[in-house]
Amino acid sequence: MKVDQVYKTLLKSDENFLPTLLGHFSREKVALPVESFGVGTDRERTTFLIVPLEEIERPSWVKIYFKAIRPELLGLTLGQAAVALISLKPLLQANGIFIQEFDPTFIVSSLACLCAIFFTHAAACLLNDFHDHVEGLDRRSTSQGSRVIQKGWSKAYEIQRWAYVNAALAVGIGIYLLWGHWLLFLGLGALTALSILFYSNMTPFWNRLGAGDFWITLLFGPLLFFSIWVSVYSPENPIKLSRLLLLDGVLLSLCFGLLASWTFQVRQFQGIFKRQPGSFRTIVSRLNFDQARKFLALEGGLFFALQSICFYFIWGDLLSSLFLFGAGLSLWGILKQIFGLASPLSSAMLSLKGRALKAHGWFLIVWAVVL
């Protein structure tokens, strides 16, 4: 250990604990959490390695930013937002409404909407990193979170500040998109905020009931899709548009909300052998390993098949529906892999997270083609 590096162990009750944890204690040094005991209790104790900032090998702030916002998850937000935009024209045409896709206003609104989704995604990831660091979830694990705080690339309070800036940008763009429709803006904003709040702060009781699946489906399904539709296509009465698209729109958005929920479940299933009480926010938290692998394989097959059924119900195009069904069959491999897992320590578990995200991305591409 270098002379200018010092280990310091602090109790949660110590007045220096929070400033050290957040990074406020010094401008020239950073505190790297080494060990944490009793996380979540009043007897929590954490050992920090105090290191001068110049000794930390940090990449550029651009790389730190994109590492912190989890680019691998952009398909769940920005990818689904792009499909929502692509689906708007055919969905309106199915209901007897025709729009000019290359109208300048439409293009500007579409780009603004994608920017709002991106900044919302970034704010949520950054706040999640900050919250999990402070609560100790990322400090007692070497694999959870983006690790930018734990590596000393950025201090916790800086991540929190970045989150607020990204949230402000998202809100600002949202105000521009829904200018004049204040009731709708407040309603969508409140529902989105409540969904994120309930998902992030659920008690173990709600975790065991799998309430997180409901909030994920709502956030990445109806809330995301209807927010984009009424933001990009802004008639005099957006409420009327929502009513017009109610049945088809809810059905289509639920397809993607359920697919996102399944993807989150698989991501949490990969770490089932090391789960901590309250660390899982989906139905996986109440299942043992054998129950979870069977449930995820059957649920995935159902959700993949649901895509083609919903498409045929909305548009009545048999050929495109069969194409979607074939796309689902092409993902038989990941379902077979999940169902055939022998133990939570199987080497095949290591690739599940990546394969689930690829399966989700594959369906986004297929939907963009058939639409």
List the chain domain ranges.
Answer: 6-55, 57-261, 287-371
**Radius of gyration over every alpha carbon of the chain, rounded to an integer in angstroms:** 22
| pLDDT for the residue 241 | 63
Measured distance CA(284)–CA(259) in Å, rounded? 15
Q: Which of 301, 363, 324 is nearest to 75 (CA)?
A: 363
| pLDDT for the residue 42 | 80
Measured distance CA(233)–CA(229) in Å, rounded? 6
List residues bridging with 30 in a β-sheet: 51
Angle between helices 182-200 and 104-135 (to 10 degrees): 30
Q: What are phi and psi of 283, to 5 degrees?
A: -65, -15
Beta-strand ranges (E) seen in the chain are 6-11, 29-37, 45-52
- Tell me if 290 sits within 8 A of 273, measured CB to CB: no
The pLDDT of residue 291 is above 90? no
277 pLDDT tier (thresholds 50, 70, 90): very low
pLDDT digits (tens, 9 = 90+) for 78-98: 999 999 999 988 888 877 777
CB within 8 Å of 54: residues ≥ 6 apart:
none
Measured distance CA(219)–CA(2) in Å, rounded? 48
Task: Considering only residues 213 and 50, tell me which one the structure prediction assigns the higher pLDDT.
Answer: 50
pTM of the model: 0.84
Instruction: Over range 278-285, report the average pLDDT.
Output: 65
CB within 8 Å of 283: residues ≥ 6 apart:
209, 210, 212, 213, 265, 295
